[in-house]
Structures are given as C-alpha cells and as structure tokens.
Amino acid sequence: MAISGRFVLLVLLGLVPVLLLPGWGSFFAVAAVLAAVAGADLALAGSPGLLQVVRGGPVNVALNAPVHAALTIHNNGRRRVRGSFRDAWQPSAGAADPIQPVDVPAGESRRAAVVLRPFRRGDIKSPHVTFRSFGPMGLAARQRTVTSAGSIRVLPPFNSRRHLPSKLQKLRELDGKAAVQIRGAGTEFDSLRDYVRGDDVRSIDWRATARRSAVVVRTWRPERDRRVLMVLDTSRTAAARIDDETRLDSGLEAALLLGVLAERGGDRVDFLAFDRRARARAGTAGKGNLLGRLVQAMAPLEPELIEMDWAAVPAQVRAVTAHRSLVVLLTSLDGGAPEEGLIPAAAQLAVQHVVVVAAVRDPQLGAMLSERSDAAGVFRAAAAERALLQRAAVSAELRRFGVEVVDAEPHQLPPGLADMYIRLKAAGRL
C-alpha cells in the first residue's frame, strides 16, 4: 500500500473542518472520513498482482552506450491498472527513468522501455518489477512486486580499437599485399617473380633462374594458420587498479586487440580466462565473428580473490592446442612470488611454445621514483625502486628461459603486445 501527495494535500485540507468545529469528536470524524476515502480508493484500484511482465529488447550493449530495456505489461485482471511501475535495474545500469507511469486496461498489454546507460562491464540485472496501482481518485495505491528477471550483458569497451588500423597496416606490409616483398618479411614461400634492383640477392632462386633467361627471386610471406592462445589471469592480482582501470581490464583490452589482429593475420585465436579454473573460453572455432565471441566471453569476467594456479596452466594450454602456438600470458610481474608460479609455468610452456608475458606496469611507481625532495620522498623512491627492480629481475629471469616480456603502462600494453606479435610473426618465430 502507498499513498499519493494528493492524499497528503487532502489531509492538510482536513484542517479546515477540524478548525471550524473544534473538538476531539470532529478531529476523529475527519480522520475517519479521510481513512474511509483512502480505503475506498484502495478497494477500487486494479490488482497489481495480476499483471504479467514479459521482457524484450537487446541482449548486449556496449559500455556507456544507451540501451532501451523493453518490457511488455499484460493485465490479466478485470479492472484497469493505472499508476506507476519501477523496473529495478541495479544502480550501475544507469537507468535514466526507472519509475514510469503505467496505464493498462483490463485484458490488454502495454509496452514500456527504460533507458539504461550502463557504466560497469558485466551482466546487469533487474530481478523484479514493482507496480503501484492507484484507485480512481488517485489517493491510495496497492503496491506489488512481480518477479521478472531481466539481464543485459555489458560488453568491454575495446578502447584499444583505435590502434587497430595502424597495426593492421603493419601486418599488411608483412603480408603479400605490400608493394615490396623482401626476405625477412616472413619465412613461408609465396611465389617467384623477376628480380628488380634492390632485391636481396640472397633471395634469388638460382634453380628457377637457370630455367629462364632472367634472374628470378623468391618472395616470402608470413606464416598463416598459426595458433595464438591468450591466457588471462583473473586471480587476485587482476583486482589491482592501475591508472583508473584494473589489471583485468587492461588485459582484456590487450587481448581484444591481439585477438582481432591475429585473426586478420590469418591465425587461429583462442582465449582462456583462468585462475584456479577456467572462467571463460572463446576462440576462432565457433559461429559468428571472433570479436563478438571474445567480448561475450569477456563481459562477465571479474577478478577473483584467489591465488592463480600456475601449475595447472600448462595442462590448460595443452587442452586447447596440441601444436606449437604463441601463448600469451596476460598477468602481473609483481605481487606474490612469480618465482614460484609464473616463471616455472612460463619456462615449461616455452619448451614447446612461443611464450609472451604481458604485464601492466604502474606509472605511479615512476612518479614515486622521482620524489626525492625530503626523507619521506626518498623512502618512497626507495620502495618504488625496489618494486621496479623486482619486476626487472622477474623479466630477466623470464627472458633467460626464452620468454618474451611486454612490460608496459596500461594504455601502452595493447599496442605493445600487438607490436610484439607482429615482430614475432615477421621473424617467423610463430
């Protein structure tokens, strides 16, 4: 039950009879009349419990993009329902107008839509819809909450998309589409063509030249149909916030850029989010485009407050691909003991695969490093220095095992990882 502002106004007007006929008798009489009027209005209100909600509208939405969450309200009762409803979207859905008027005649349906502008990645939910049905006088309302679960998946923003054209350009230069094809742009034999001045003499195919009168060179192209497996660490270290986004989000951005780039490069892409168990899997094998599947898999990921099970990672990688692959570990280089977890796992993987460890470096550490004005600043600089030295030591240890390391600040990580991929591809190491 609920009352309206109109009823409060009516109660205020009740002051007039109470003052004209002072006395407790009139006081209670007016109160009783008001209560009776409200009760009558309540009795004449349509039953909100007989309303039925069917949800529709889009299933996916980009972060910070507006979306209309539609719902159809069907009135199964015998009386018209007039009043308001509230679609209970969680606060991060950013509902602009969660409370709206509703007017559904008996036996009919009405459509309504709530405009959402979600500001957090993941699945946003609305567990129920609450109806408030006012009587004909609009004084008192019956209120009932109808369970009707709604859910919209908010996809990761893919801000690193802006790096994609330049990286694709680089990839195309490697690929046969560029004008000049020289040795070093790949290891896979592509075709034979006439020698032009400037070509690397090492790429002259003497056998073909002998058959013809002109000098013939071989052209090369980068390997295709290689495998790229990205393993995203969703353990407790992913919860660390660096520069307004968590490590997890930075890792997602980097994985999206690399995934799209590698797919254009003709490689098979697989994505695995893992801490102690697989949180998400996506890959080229499947329906639809890769980007769509990647963002679908990434959307509900959250950092878990548990330790990464590095010992299980090689087995997970083996389960995804049995062939030599580029394995990208999106994790952190500090926090905990990488010597016990990350380094052995990466070393083990490096035996069969090409392993790249991509980690976010905190730019705040650099800022702390330059604080040298007083004793407190010097101690801060010393602490930052220690953290950076530890990272450097871990990076060096990883490189000793033949693991490539991309250690970059949050916004530099996706292009840095893409560059590493292009470099490895160009060098024919995939």
Partner 1 sequence: MTGSVSEADVARDAGPRQAAGPSFRSRLRRHRGLVAFGALVAVGLGLVIWGQLAPKGDVVPLSVSNAGPDGARAVAQILGNHGVQVHDVRNYDAAMAALDASSSPTLLIYDRKGALDGQRLRGLADSSARVVVVSPRLETLRALDGGIRQAGVVPEGTPALDPGCSLPDARAAGQVSGGSGFVYDGGTTCFRPSGSAAGVLAAGADGRLVVLGSTAVLGNERLDELGNAALGLRLLGASPDLVWYLPSLEDMDLTGSPRTLDELAPDWVRFVGPWLVVVALAAIAWRGRRHGPLVFEPLPVVVKAVETAEGRARLYHDNRAMDQARDNLRAGTLSRLAAALRLGPGATAEAIVDAAARQLGTAASTVSDLVNDHPRSEARLVAWVRELHTLEKEVKRR
For residues 66-105, which are near partner 1 according to CB under 8 A? Answer: 84, 86, 88-92, 99
Judged by CB under 8 A, how many residues of this single chain contact partner 1? Answer: 74
Is residue 421 a contact residue for partner 1 (CB under 8 A)?
no
Is residue 250 a contact residue for partner 1 (CB under 8 A)?
no
Binding-site member from 191, 340, 364, 427 for partner 1 (CB under 8 A): 364
CB 250, CB 362: distance < 8 Å: no
Region 266-285 residues binding partner 1, contact defined as CB under 8 A: none
Buried b (16+ CB within 10 A) or exposed e, 189-215: eeeeeebeeebeeebebeeebeeeeee
Q: Which is nearer to partner 1, 65 or 305 (CB)?
A: 305
Torsion angle (degrees, nearest 10) of CA 183, 204, 226, 418: 10
Binding-site member from 45, 327, 354, 384 for partner 1 (CB under 8 A): 384
Q: Which is nearer to partner 1, 16 or 106 (CB)?
A: 16
CB 52, CB 73: distance < 8 Å: yes
Sequence-distant (≥ 6) Cβ neighbours of residue 294 within 8 angstroms:
255, 256, 259, 269, 271, 282
Binding-residue pattern over the window 137 to 156 for partner 1, x denoting contact by CB under 8 A = ------x-x-----------
The Cα 377–Cα 206 span in angstroms is 67
Apex CA 93: angle with CA 88 and CA 95, to 5°?
65
The residue whose two tokens read 């995804």 is 320
Q: How far is the CB of 229 from partner 1 (least distance, A)?
A: 26
Is residue 369 a contact residue for partner 1 (CB under 8 A)?
yes
Binding-site member from 267, 362, 404, 407 for partner 1 (CB under 8 A): 362
Region 175-234 residues binding partner 1, contact defined as CB under 8 A: none
Binding-site member from 44, 59, 285, 305 for partner 1 (CB under 8 A): 305
CB 335, CB 342: distance < 8 Å: no
Binding-site member from 33, 43, 115, 378 for partner 1 (CB under 8 A): 378
Q: Which is nearer to partner 1, 8 or 65 (CB)?
A: 8
